[in-house]
Amino acid sequence: MKLPKIIIVGGQEWTIKENKKMHGGRFYGNKRLLEIGTKDPKDVPSVLLHEVIESILSERDCRYDQYGGMDGNENFLFNFDHKQFIQVVKDIALALKDIKDFS
């Protein structure tokens, strides 16, 4: 899948950076940047979707730092009502609207 260079998250342009050495992804809200690992190409659509949704929920103040797990990984709680969910779905559709080969 060809990653777009820019997507819209929360009405703002975010840059997508491909990292060919990495699995998974990260988002940096202060930089408006999604870093998507493309080491395993079959994982790219789900990684992109994961980071887009998580960044949207974070920007909408629906993501809370619950605790640092015993393995040192962060654990987040997502909390939103149906009205917020409807808007998140619209945000996801907007962010991914220009991706032709999302599979």
Beta bridge partners of 3: none
DSSP result, 30-65: TTTEEEEE-SSGGGHHHHHHHHHHHHHHHHTT-EEE
Single-letter amino acid, residue 9: V
Domain containing 48: what range? 6-93
pLDDT at 67 (0 to 100)? 67
Task: Give the separation between CA 47 and CA 25, rounded to whole angstroms.
Answer: 6
Judge whether 76 lies within some domain.
yes
pLDDT bucket at 98, cuts 50 / 70 / 90: confident
Residues 8-64: pLDDT tens digits? 988 899 999 999 999 999 999 999 999 999 999 999 999 999 999 999 999 999 988
Dihedral angle computed from the Cα positions of residues 78, 45, 12 and 61, in that order, rounded to the nearest 10 degrees: 0
Number of domains in the chain: 1
Taking a C-beta distance cutoff of 8 angstroms, is the pair 35, 27 a contact? yes
Q: How many CB atoms lie within 10 A of CB 50?
A: 16
Which residues does 29 contact at the CB level (< 8 Å), separation at least 6?
A: 55, 58, 59
Question: What are the structure tokens assigned to 8, written together?
Answer: 């819209």
